[in-house]
Amino acid sequence: MTTPTFLPLSTYREYPLDEMRSRAATFSNEMQRRRTVREFSNRAVPRTIIEDCLRAAGTAPSGANQQPWHFVAVQDIALKKTIREAAEKEEHTFYDGRAPRAWLDALAPLGTNEHKPFLEIAPWLIAIFARSYGVADDGSKVKHYYVQESVGIATGLLIAAVHTAGLASLTHTPSPMNFLNSLLGRPSHERPFLLLVVGYPEDGATVPDIHRQPLESIATFM
């Protein structure tokens, strides 16, 4: 067993209450403006922006600090085309019979279908993988804890970082998406978690007329 080492908490910053109020409100307002976008421009986004967003994602807390995530950021045009083709093949079977009626009904307000042109048009696709176990130096498996939760949190931070940078994103989950392992060369103990499409929205992009629940219905104070 490793003995823990502790360091002073040197990164914490306390703000006067007024400033705390205004920072909390500013972040909330900033996040209220985020919308999931499905119409992307092909305008280039510098890799350094994506790198910083991924650094932010990598700050997520994780089970036993095992950081069970891996991000593959794809801008290669041919690779994006291959991903689109593979995803559309899966999506076609989904919309054409695999999805139960109730699921399609739930999706109806979003206006989605099996066509995924954004996978080719958007400048970046970030495939997020969840590592189910680690591999020690001697080749033995190291169990990971709370993998889904950890990767979900990291993905949330990534989405917030992308939005804060001034870019749009789409959480896309072609199902099944195991094709991402072979296309992106990731080992089988890494499970594709989500494909985040990132870029500028297309000029005149529209979004579905859907709304967020007010605080009263999502939170209870006791």
Select the span of 9-17, 50-58, 172-180, 205-213 touching ligand IYR (CB under 6 A). 172-180
Q: Considering the rule CB under 6 A, would residue 207 count as an interface residue with ligand IYR?
A: no
176 three-state secondary structure: coil
- Total binding residues for ligand IYR by CB under 6 A? 9
Residues of this chain, 94-113, that bind ligand IYR according to CB under 6 A: 94, 107, 110, 112
Sequence length of the chain is 222
Q: Considering the rule CB under 6 A, would residue 173 count as an interface residue with ligand IYR?
A: yes
* Long-range contacts of 44-53, Cβ-Cβ distance < 8 Å, separation of 24 or more: 44/123, 45/123, 45/124, 45/167, 45/198, 45/199, 45/200, 47/73, 47/75, 49/165, 49/167, 50/124, 50/126, 50/198, 52/161, 52/165, 53/158, 53/161, 53/162, 53/165, 53/198
Which residue lies nearer to ligand IYR by CB, 91 or 202? Answer: 91
Q: Considering the rule CB under 6 A, would residue 175 count as an interface residue with ligand IYR?
A: yes
Question: Smallest distance from the beta carbon of 66 to ligand IYR, in angstroms?
Answer: 28
Binding site for ligand IYR (CB under 6 A): 91, 94, 107, 110, 112, 172-175
